[in-house]
Amino acid sequence: MDIFEFTKGESPLIISIPHAGAYIPEDIAKYMTDSALAVPDTDFYVDRLYGFAKDLGVNIIKANYSRYVIDLNRPPSNEQLYKNRRTTGLIPEKTFTGDNIYKDDFLLTENDIEARVKNYWQPYHDMLGKTIISLQEKFGYTILYDAHSIKSKLPLLFEGRLADLNLGTANSTTCPQELERKIIDVMEKSPFSYAVNGRFIGGYITRNYSSAADNIYTLQMEISQKNYMEETSLYAYTEDKAKILQKTLKKTINGIFNYFQSEDFAHTKQCCGNCHCQLDS
């Protein structure tokens, strides 16, 4: 099983899909509980949702291994990303509903962690970093769109029901504010509820790769799964719902392209840094 699948595009946009993989190698699976082997916290079908992006020339990288093997959206140091909030780490030990991922007699060692970083985490990020640099050199800028989904209700992680669309830009620091506003405008005109830098402000990928000085911009989109699939144990893709959601997602991607072809972006690149269009840094 390849660590990831990569589709090369002809645009400066990359879609990263780090949590849609469900594969668990046998040497790890044998230590896992039955509930974990069902991989319930997978970002199911996210690659299918964004399938239209290939025709738009978007570069796409999608992980094949489960986040239970290692979480590609966490730093290799396992630093806490969301202060004072319950979350999962680099190698999760609990599911989103609090169930054990590993059997009682399993002990995760430092050697285990180092091996998983080397074998599963590093190849994905090597490819992601290489692609970002290549596109930045070719176009003079690049945008990284980190695509996720999650169940709409997870009491251990957040109260109530999650908004349908959740845009994260690390509190408006990882992409130009004008681009953020354009995406918000798409969400406002859609049939979906939305939040901006609410429960999800962007994980390691969004925060680590952003560099305004190099015209490398990032954002995360977290989608509530009820909008395109069954959230029960069946995890079935719901075609009718998905088509409606894809219309909004396609408008979002086209809105990103339109922004980078606009005078707003040209001004952002040339600005002295004292005007409202710049990133807060």
- What the chain holds in terms of domains, given with CATH numbers, is 4-270 (3.40.630.40)
Q: How many CB atoms lie within 10 A of CB 232?
A: 8
Dist CA 232 CA 226 (whole Å): 10
pLDDT at 84: 66
pLDDT at 270: 55
Dihedral, 148, 56, 1, 233 alpha carbons, nearest 10:
40
For the chain, the average pLDDT equals 93
pLDDT at 274: 36
pLDDT at 279: 45
Could you say which residues of the chain have pLDDT below 70? Answer: 82, 84-86, 267-281
Tens-place pLDDT, residues 126-136:
999 999 999 99
pLDDT at 180: 97
pLDDT at 86: 67
> pTM of the entire structure?
0.93
Is the Cβ–Cβ distance between 161 and 33 less than 8 Å? no
pLDDT at 273: 41
Using CB atoms within 10 Å of the CB of residue 122, give its burial: 0 to 12 exposed, 13 to 18 middle, 19+ buried.
Answer: middle
Dist CA 276 CA 235 (whole Å): 44
